Structure 1
Amino acid sequence: MLYISEIDQLSNYPSIDTDVLRTFVAIADQGGFTRAGELVNRTQSAVSMQMKRLEEDVLQRKLFERDGRQVRLTPEGQVLLGYARRILKLHSEVFNTLREPHMVGLVRIGTPDDYVMRYLPGILKRFSKAYPLIQIEMHCEGTPILMQRRDLALTVVSREAGNEIGELLRNERMVWVASPCFCVDEHEALPLAISGMDSFCTQWARASLDAIGREYRLAYHSSNGAAIQAVVGAGLAVTVMMESLVTEDLRILGSDEGFGPLHTVNLRLLRNPSMSSPITECLAEYILEGFRL
């Protein structure tokens, strides 16, 4: 409960408009004022003015470090970013709950199955607690197939640098992975387990091995991430995967065993404009937050 003195104290603080916070978050996510302006439908000069007022008049703290066209958050900016995401999430929940008190419906989302194992449980648990009457239909397939579908409201995909689309969820370092019992030196031709013959991750793996002259063979192929992980966990092959997906029963292979670094992959969220609704937009915000935790 807030007492009168506490309410008076709160009233002395300046307020921050949610539109300003939304612009601030867009800058942090996009890495620049111009791209953020496109996202929030404002000019670059309007975005700059908003942030100048936020820094100088409201918070009196420097929030950005500028390096040419690139923008990075200061430590104070990082602190504000965490609060901004929480405030915008609560703001969205208030409007969705009060304007749509009976949030009922079906949302179809698509995602590769390995993301389901790592990220989706926590996201869906929080979402279903807030909106228990919304039904979620999940479709787990590889990114190339998901990209062709038009019946999904929200889709999580992986993209290589320079080929980005949608909204950034997180950047992930790809790593070489094997079972603790797998001995690299015992194999004249390194057995590989891959999730897609033509995926850019497979191309990265093969190019990395070709570059060092390491012989290999494509021993296992499955579009199911759990199947690939089971094969690797059994010590039958090595694979490449996102660092955050490496479980305790696997180990990362490094340069001491002859494995060079791999590229970074972008996880992106795609929204289907033709299926947009308060429900899908609300779930999208939960997904954006969940992947960044």
Structure 2
Amino acid sequence: MSQYQSIDSEVLRTFVAIADEGGFTRAGERVNRTQSAVSMQMKRLEEDILQRQLFERDGRQVRLTAEGQILLGYARRILKLHSEVFTTLRQPHMVGTVRIGTPDDYAMRFLPGILSQFAQAYPLVQVEVHCESSKQLMARQDLDLTIVTREPGTEIGQLLRQERFVWAQAQGFTPHEQNPVPLAMFNSDCFCRAWACHALDARQKPYRVAYTSPSLAAIMAVVSAGLAVTAQLQSLITADMRILGEAEGLPLLPMASIVLLRNDGSRSDMTECLAEHIADGFKR
């Protein structure tokens, strides 16, 4: 048997509330206890359980002692784990696998926040992410949710976002002045590449596709090195890059519609919950 007493989670919750609110009265309101009940909890915690002074009292204001600061860190971690246990075990119906498909650029820009929020809400759900071009993804029948790019006016499914494609190059470099202009683009079945090349052809602007990759990270590495110009969604352009346009002799690029497709044959509560998280994530 352990020689130490245990600390009830409700006592820790009250302790954290006092630290956050700066007083017993406001903490009591937060945890729905009277000020006297809060005081009794903390007296027992200090004198009977830990035998350490946790608070320095100044009238109605209280401050944590050094020992109190140490306990605060542990208390927050314990309460977080306590919450995770209940979240995990009280939602057993949300167990399984959801398969989503998305182009690589959306995976890098939007998925980290979306999947982080989804994992906190549904920790037992396994998510498979398949990164391919929009054309390849639309041909697949084995995905539960698919994020693809469409031209405005050809949207299908749920519209997530509309955004313009833009030309960009690294700050301090001028590959757009080369003749022909070197491009770093996704592989040949990418909508973005086709739109960019058609726009240059219509302008009769000489160009060459100097670098290709299915990976946005690889394309951005080439552009960051000053080797080429690229065309990407405006939200993907980082601070170390410069957006180009008519002033640099490059044509205006079209808007893109990002849509979410559902597989009617595999709809479930899990897929709908993830679809809601995806829709929220693309609004940011």
Q: Deviation digits for residues 151-186 of structure 1, max 9, x if unmatched?
A: 111111011122211100000110001111321464
What SS does the corresponding residue of 1:285 show, helix, strand or coil?
helix
What SS does the corresponding residue of 2:135 show, helix, strand or coil?
helix
The counterpart of 1:215, out of the listed 192, 195, 206, is 206
Per the TM alignment, residue 199 of structure 1 is displaced from its structure 2 partner at its CA by: 3.2
Within 2, Cα distance between the matches of 1:254 and 1:110? 31
Within 2, Cα distance between the matches of 1:279 and 1:212? 47
Paired amino acid for 2:133? G
Within 1, Cα distance between the matches of 2:251 and 2:193? 14
Identity %: 55
Per the TM alignment, residue 292 of structure 1 is displaced from its structure 2 partner at its CA by: 1.1
What SS does the corresponding residue of 1:122 show, helix, strand or coil?
helix
CA 1:136/1:226 → structure 2, altered by over 3 Å: closer, same or farther?
same
Paired amino acid for 1:174? F
Asked if 1:246 corresponds to 2:237, the answer is yes
Per the TM alignment, residue 275 of structure 1 is displaced from its structure 2 partner at its CA by: 1.0
Contact persistence 2:157–2:261 (CA under 8 A): yes
What SS does the corresponding residue of 1:286 show, helix, strand or coil?
helix
Within 2, Cα distance between the matches of 1:106 and 1:209? 43
CA 1:140/1:185 → structure 2, altered by over 3 Å: closer, same or farther?
closer
What's the counterpart of residue 188 of structure 1? 179
Contact persistence 1:184–1:257 (CA under 8 A): no
Q: Taking structure 2 as the reference length, what is the TM-score of the superposition? A: 0.66
For structure 1, list consecutive stretches of 5 or more residues without a partner in the other structure: 3-96
Within 2, Cα distance between the matches of 1:137 and 1:213? 43
The counterpart of 2:94, out of the listed 94, 100, 103, is 103
Alignment of 1:1-293 (within 5 A): 101-184=92-175, 186-293=177-284
Q: Deviation digits for residues 212-234 of structure 1, max 9, x if unmatched?
A: 33211111111222111111111
Contact persistence 2:133–2:190 (CA under 8 A): no
Contact persistence 2:100–2:127 (CA under 8 A): yes
Per the TM alignment, residue 207 of structure 1 is displaced from its structure 2 partner at its CA by: 2.5
Within 2, Cα distance between the matches of 1:225 and 1:268? 19
Within 1, Cα distance between the matches of 2:189 and 2:111? 26
Contact persistence 2:175–2:226 (CA under 8 A): no
Within 2, Cα distance between the matches of 1:284 and 1:186? 43
What SS does the corresponding residue of 1:292 show, helix, strand or coil?
coil
Per the TM alignment, residue 102 of structure 1 is displaced from its structure 2 partner at its CA by: 3.6
CA 1:246/1:285 → structure 2, altered by over 3 Å: closer, same or farther?
same
Deviant stretches of 4+, over 6 Å: none
Paired amino acid for 2:105? D
For structure 2, list consecutive stretches of 5 or more residues without a partner in the other structure: 1-28, 31-87
**Would you say how many aligned residue pairs link Structure 1 and Structure 2?**
200
Paired amino acid for 1:231? V
Q: Deviation digits for residues 4-37 of structure 1, max 9, x if unmatched?
A: xxxxxxxxxxxxxxxxxxxxxxxxxxxxxxxxxx
Within 1, Cα distance between the matches of 2:251 and 2:163? 16
Within 1, Cα distance between the matches of 2:89 and 2:283? 27
What's the counterpart of residue 42 of structure 1? none
Within 2, Cα distance between the matches of 1:185 and 1:245? 19
Paired amino acid for 1:209? L
Paired amino acid for 2:142? D
Within 2, Cα distance between the matches of 1:148 and 1:214? 33
Paired amino acid for 2:206? E
Q: Taking structure 1 as the reference length, what is the TM-score of the superposition? A: 0.64
CA 1:273/1:127 → structure 2, altered by over 3 Å: closer, same or farther?
same
